[in-house]
Structure 1
Amino acid sequence: MKSNKLAIVIPIFNEEEVLPTLFERLFPVLDSMNKSYEVIFINDGSKDNSIHLLEELYNKRPLQVKVIDFNKNYGQHMAIMAGFENSDADVIVTMDADLQNYPEDIPLLIEKVEEGHDVVGGYRLNRQDKKWRLFVSKLHNSLRLKLTGIDMVDEGCMLRAYTNDIVQRVISTKENSTFLPALAHSFATNPIDVGVRHAAREEGTSSYNLYKLIRYNFDFFANFSKAPLEFFTLLGFLVSTASIILFIFLICSRFLHGPGADGVFTLFAITFFFLGVVLMGLGIVGEYIGRIYEEIRQRPRFIIKSILSLNQSDDK
Structure 2
Amino acid sequence: MNAPQLSIIVPVYNEEAGLPALFSRLYPALDMLAQKRQLQYEIIFINDGSRDRSAAMLGQQFEARPDTTRVVLFQNNFGQHMAIMAGFEYARGEYIITLDADLQNPPEEIDALVQELVAGHDYVGTIRTNRKDTLFRKSASRLMNHLREKITHITMTDQGCMLRGYRRRIIDLVGKCNESNTFIPALAYTFATNPTEITVQHEERFAGESKYSVYQLIRLNFDLVTGFSVVPLQIFSILGMLLALAAGSLFATLLIRRFIIGAEVEGVFTLFALTFFLIGVMLFGLGLLGEYIGRIYQQIRQRPRYVVQAVLEKP
Q: Same fold (TM over 0.5)?
A: yes
Residue 263 of structure 1 and its aligned partner are, at CA, apart by 4.5
Residue equivalent to 2:106: 102
Contact 2:8/2:44 (<8 A) preserved: yes
CA distance in 1: counterparts of 2:267 and 2:20, whole angstroms: 69
Which residue identity is paired with 2:225? F
Query: Structure 2 matches for 1:23-42, cutoff 5 A?
Result: 23-32=23-32, 33-34=34-35, 35-42=39-46
CA distance in 2: counterparts of 1:122 and 1:267, whole angstroms: 50
Residue 228 of structure 1 and its aligned partner are, at CA, apart by 1.2
Query: Quick one: which of 39, 42, 64 aligns to 1:60?
Result: 64
Does residue 176 in structure 1 map to residue 180 in structure 2? yes
Residue 4 of structure 1 and its aligned partner are, at CA, apart by 5.8
Residue 270 of structure 1 and its aligned partner are, at CA, apart by 3.1
Residue 137 of structure 1 and its aligned partner are, at CA, apart by 1.3
Residue 274 of structure 1 and its aligned partner are, at CA, apart by 2.4
Q: Classify the secondary structure of the residue corresponding to 1:63.
A: coil
- Alpha carbons of 1:263 and 1:154: their partners in 2 closer, same or farther (altered >3 Å)? closer
- Superposed CA deviations along residues 56-108 of structure 1, whole A, max 9, x for unmatched, are 10111111111111111111111000000011211110000000011011111
Does residue 139 in structure 1 map to residue 137 in structure 2? no
CA distance in 1: counterparts of 2:158 and 2:113, whole angstroms: 15
Residue 258 of structure 1 and its aligned partner are, at CA, apart by 1.8
Residue 210 of structure 1 and its aligned partner are, at CA, apart by 2.6
CA distance in 2: counterparts of 1:61 and 1:299, whole angstroms: 34
Residue 230 of structure 1 and its aligned partner are, at CA, apart by 1.3
Residue equivalent to 1:223: 227
Q: Classify the secondary structure of the residue corresponding to 2:197.
A: strand
CA distance in 1: counterparts of 2:118 and 2:245, whole angstroms: 57
Query: Structure 2 matches for 1:217-256, cutoff 5 A?
Result: 217-256=221-260
Residue equivalent to 1:277: 281
Q: Classify the secondary structure of the residue corresponding to 2:11.
A: strand
Residue equivalent to 1:13: 13
RMSD between aligned alpha carbons? 1.5
Query: Quick one: which of 161, 167, 188 aligns to 2:165?
Result: 161
Which residue identity is paired with 2:12? I
Residue equivalent to 1:314: none
User: Which shifted more, 251-260 or 283-292?
Assistant: 251-260
User: Between Structure 1 and Structure 2, how many residues are aligned?
Assistant: 309
Contact 2:4/2:42 (<8 A) preserved: no
Which residue identity is paired with 2:242? L
Does residue 298 in structure 1 map to residue 296 in structure 2? no
Query: Structure 2 matches for 1:193-212, cutoff 5 A?
Result: 193-212=197-216
Q: Classify the secondary structure of the residue corresponding to 1:274.
A: helix
CA distance in 2: counterparts of 1:174 and 1:119, whole angstroms: 20
Residue 266 of structure 1 and its aligned partner are, at CA, apart by 4.0
User: Which shifted more, 251-260 or 66-75?
Assistant: 251-260
CA distance in 1: counterparts of 2:40 and 2:122, whole angstroms: 19
Contact 2:132/2:204 (<8 A) preserved: yes
Residue 265 of structure 1 and its aligned partner are, at CA, apart by 4.1
Which residue identity is paired with 2:30? L
Percentage identity across aligned positions?
50
Contact 2:26/2:108 (<8 A) preserved: yes
Residue equivalent to 1:262: 266
Normalised to the residue count of structure 2, the TM-score between the two structures is 0.94
Which residue identity is paired with 1:144? R
Residue equivalent to 1:86: 90
Residue 268 of structure 1 and its aligned partner are, at CA, apart by 3.5
Which residue identity is paired with 1:137? S
Query: Structure 2 matches for 1:98-137, cutoff 5 A?
Result: 98-137=102-141
Q: Classify the secondary structure of the residue corresponding to 1:173.
A: coil
Contact 2:44/2:72 (<8 A) preserved: yes
- Superposed CA deviations along residues 143-187 of structure 1, whole A, max 9, x for unmatched, are 232222211121111111111110000010111101111111110
Which residue identity is paired with 2:245? T
Normalised to the residue count of structure 1, the TM-score between the two structures is 0.94
CA distance in 1: counterparts of 2:177 and 2:279, whole angstroms: 38
Which residue identity is paired with 2:20? P
Residue 298 of structure 1 and its aligned partner are, at CA, apart by 1.0
Which residue identity is paired with 1:81? M
Residue 213 of structure 1 and its aligned partner are, at CA, apart by 2.0
CA distance in 2: counterparts of 1:4 and 1:64, whole angstroms: 9
Residue equivalent to 2:76: 72
CA distance in 2: counterparts of 1:212 and 1:12, whole angstroms: 17
